[in-house]
Amino acid sequence: EPEVTQTPSHQVTQMGQEVILRCVPISNHLYFYWYRQILGQKVEFLVSFYNNEISEKSEIFDDQFSVERPDGSNFTLKIRSTKLEDSAMYFCASLFPAGEGSPLHFGNGTRLTVT
């Protein structure tokens, strides 16, 4: 069964550094998402992406964040200047829009640790 693939599985970075989290969504999917989960807290929506542009974003997704689909297969989340509070598990997800029965497919996540 096709999967959403995320790399790396764990990234450690110093405060103030830029990080790029990478995702390969399922190939025929059209909607792409980033979510994050701070340790012990709920999974939170960051941003959705469709037709090469952001379709929705949460208040968490400020100017420090950006997303890009640089080619036909990758979907990236960039954090420009990381803060300690950016430490979290980041999940990528993709969706093929087929009505109410369309499930969101998640990757296994990238654990980001900011020191």
Partner 1 sequence: KQEVTQIPAALSVPEGENLVLNCSFTDSAIYNLQWFRQDPGKGLTSLLLIQSSQREQTSGRLNASLDKSSGRSTLYIAASQPGDSATYLCAVAGRTALIFGKGTTLSVSS
Per CB under 8 A, residues contacting partner 1 are 33, 35, 41-45, 48, 56, 58, 89, 91, 93, 99-109, 111
Nearer to partner 1, 29 or 105 (CB): 105
**Cβ 102 to partner 1, closest distance in Å?**
8
Gap between the Cα atoms of 78 and 28, Å rounded: 23
Shorter beta-carbon distance to partner 1: residue 28 or 41: 41
Nearer to partner 1 by C-beta: 62 or 71? 62
- Beta carbon of residue 11, minimum distance to partner 1 (angstroms, whole number): 15
CA dist., res. 17 & res. 26, Å (int): 29
3-state secondary structure 14-52: CCCCCEEEEEECCCCCCEEEEEEECCCCCCEEEEEEECC
